[in-house]
Structure 1
């Protein structure tokens, strides 16, 4: 995969869990705004990952 085709992955899960464990309300609210924006742009990432997994399995069988 070329560098142009790679996409950065923001580790929201880690940041979210850290903010929650620290009880940092301001950080949690800011992360929620950012994460909701990413979700709107990306759509259902879990469904896309499952489709990708199925396509890989299909191609590996050939």
Structure 2
């Protein structure tokens, strides 16, 4: 039942992926609002936020 990966992802990255997988639009919007633009992001977290934005846009079109 464990979903371990071969690379580590920051905690927010895990939360983002979980919200996307669950299709939880309110949670996705909250996570996006909490993004700190003044803090440098690693590649994995930046990619997770990009996926988050795309998923929000997709869900809002329906």
Q: Report the TM-score when normalising by structure 1.
A: 0.46
| Higher normalized contact order (CA 8 Å, seq sep 6+, divided by chain length) | 2
Indicate the structure (1 or 2) with the bigger Cα radius of gyration.
Answer: 1
Specify which structure has the higher proportion of helix.
1
